[in-house]
Structure 1
């Protein structure tokens, strides 16, 4: 009888150990498993399947000709909802009404605008919440080479602070190094694994384009246009040279491949140039803007666009009483 009781107790003990080890392993697996949800669809098709949340988003994705990117490219997509986009359009039309302009319908917004705004939400590669769980978060480079920032904060669970799921905060740096100036949105659901990447859905209260949509929607945008460029360079004059450093410049889109800005440090003189990028080889043609006081501005050596560093490397010249030679670098101030 005693022997049977001993065997029974031993069996209970072994079972308890196994169950304890099993629970521990399950807990570890749960904490480290990302993403928690998977769909057998690419990102684009998943958005199409959720019309109540993403129907308007799908429409502007099509307008921006980014559908194939969302179908085939390995990306992380911080997906704005229908409400985000409709709110942005409403804000635009309120702004237009104050200047006496008629409202714009969604179909009347230029596709370049949708494309420029949408690329702020697309990050090459796959990033789940855990990738952002660093002390200071993680800087990310978007599809159009803009730097944004993602923080992951652990949400408290019952009886344990900071041990729950991760809440993501997606921030546009708004041209500033200081976090107080950043524009951000929280993620309401994260880590959805599609066939070609990860989807994080932004809160409906997020206004599409952060603060930029109303400003940019009234003007054309392309891959190179932005308010936040810094220029440095040198002008070689007949009897002297003149240098300048970190001169702020805005590059304004003229069409899909051309931007306009002031020439060298000569904005006060009314000198303006257009930079046309050959998308095949990134070579740049310098020409005078129609409004430029001087119409002799043209290439004088290597002129190209560096997509990795988001920088125009330019050598050009203009003529007054004699030739003036300019070497200039115009780099995106990516913060």
Structure 2
């Protein structure tokens, strides 16, 4: 009995000591820090060394000529796993099968579209998690085109304690919008791999590569080559935008950037509102594209027609559209028509918007020919 009693006392003493140490260590919860790991290789070599994890991303990086950037530039990579690419490609090919189109893979997808997608994950500068602690997160700039992404450090709850769990990064495609409700967001599964030239954070495996755009980019028709930018067509409009309060002149609908726009609050006061493109010599156009802007969808065009002329007196109808809508901001729609005749003037006549009085906005207008 004496030995058993002594053993019980030792057990209780040990249990008490462990409890005291545990309480001193975490004050009732575990404060999971975002762990850092330093690796003695550059970012490209680190990704390539993780066989079975980042093979797809490395394949795309090689195809797009980004290897040197990941070798020696100061960058932060939000690394996309093989599973994320697999989900995206499977979804894409299921959609293409329904549409009667042949399947695609990362080796034969359109270069431009794939380039746009992958550069959402490669940011300029080194950004470990401690730089993302602001309430609104941190705006990051894409390595090639300056596309804006947002990274914000968050801490999950655990064991009933708020902010007592693991730290992750909410990584968001801002879609050039200041409103978070328009963003597409994923999270990381690990963070702060410090390479010789950058930082690597790993995106969760359930993320679908390309956020919400992968299927859309590889199933919609591509925009035409832009005659306005290629050959310098001169644009005039029936109602120019006012000088104030914002610089939203007609020039911005043909400047090659969807982040700017033409907006006139009284454009449809006298219908139709028209935009005329004049070339120095006649050209054959048989396609065009319109892009929605960054706010009020009621201002977007709903009905219009496109005409061609040699002298701005006699016009021939080339295309007509009605009941058109743009359900997303910065959405481009492509329209093609049969035409083999060269015209010096092309006039887009907009007769109706999507319900916002006499207002009209267009982020981008591309006039061109079929690819």
Aligned with 1:291 (options 285, 288, 298): 285
Q: Does 1:180 align with 2:181?
A: yes
CA contact (8 A) 2:76 2:198 kept: yes
How many angstroms apart in 2 are the aligned matches of 1:109 and 1:272?
Answer: 35
CA contact (8 A) 2:169 2:188 kept: yes
Deviation at 1:180, TM superposition (A): 2.2
CA contact (8 A) 1:137 1:150 kept: yes
SS for the counterpart of 1:133 is coil
- For 1:69, the equivalent position in structure 2 comes to 69
Deviation at 1:200, TM superposition (A): 0.3
SS for the counterpart of 2:130 is helix
| TM-score normalized by the length of structure 1 | 0.59
Deviation at 1:88, TM superposition (A): 1.2
How many angstroms apart in 2 are the aligned matches of 1:249 and 1:192?
Answer: 42
Higher RCO, 1 vs 2 (CA within 8 Å, ≥6 residues apart)? 2
Deviation at 1:158, TM superposition (A): 5.6
How many angstroms apart in 1 are the aligned matches of 2:147 and 2:45?
Answer: 26
How many angstroms apart in 2 are the aligned matches of 1:68 and 1:108?
Answer: 22
RMSD, aligned α-carbons: 4.4
CA contact (8 A) 1:169 1:186 kept: yes
Runs (5+) with no aligned partner, structure 2: 1-23, 26-30, 227-233, 243-247, 287-307, 312-342, 346-361, 365-371
- For 1:242, the equivalent position in structure 2 comes to 240
How many angstroms apart in 2 are the aligned matches of 1:34 and 1:81?
Answer: 20
CA contact (8 A) 2:126 2:199 kept: yes
Deviation at 1:319, TM superposition (A): 7.4
- For 1:167, the equivalent position in structure 2 comes to 168
- For 2:112, the equivalent position in structure 1 comes to 112
- Label 1:91 to 1:135 Cα distance change in 2 as closer, same or farther (>3 A): same
How many angstroms apart in 2 are the aligned matches of 1:288 and 1:251?
Answer: 22
- Label 1:117 to 1:46 Cα distance change in 2 as closer, same or farther (>3 A): same
- Label 1:35 to 1:121 Cα distance change in 2 as closer, same or farther (>3 A): same
- Label 1:251 to 1:241 Cα distance change in 2 as closer, same or farther (>3 A): closer
| TM-score normalized by the length of structure 2 | 0.54
Deviation at 1:112, TM superposition (A): 2.3
Deviation at 1:159, TM superposition (A): 7.5
CA contact (8 A) 2:148 2:176 kept: no
CA contact (8 A) 1:75 1:122 kept: yes
SS for the counterpart of 1:120 is coil
CA contact (8 A) 2:187 2:203 kept: yes
How many angstroms apart in 2 are the aligned matches of 1:108 and 1:287?
Answer: 37
Deviation readout 1:61-97 (Å, 9 max, x if unpaired): 1111111111111100001111111211112112212
How many angstroms apart in 2 are the aligned matches of 1:288 and 1:75?
Answer: 47
SS for the counterpart of 1:167 is strand
How many angstroms apart in 1 are the aligned matches of 2:51 and 2:281?
Answer: 46
How many angstroms apart in 1 are the aligned matches of 2:249 and 2:91?
Answer: 34
Within 5 Å, which residues of 2 pair with 1:172-211?
172-211=173-212
SS for the counterpart of 1:51 is coil
SS for the counterpart of 2:139 is strand
Runs (5+) with no aligned partner, structure 1: 1-22, 25-30, 226-233, 254-260, 274-285, 297-317, 321-329
How many angstroms apart in 2 are the aligned matches of 1:202 and 1:210?
Answer: 11
Deviation at 1:154, TM superposition (A): 2.2
How many residues are aligned here? 242
- Larger helix fraction of residues: 1
CA contact (8 A) 1:139 1:148 kept: yes
CA contact (8 A) 2:149 2:174 kept: yes
How many angstroms apart in 2 are the aligned matches of 1:154 and 1:86?
Answer: 28
SS for the counterpart of 2:95 is helix
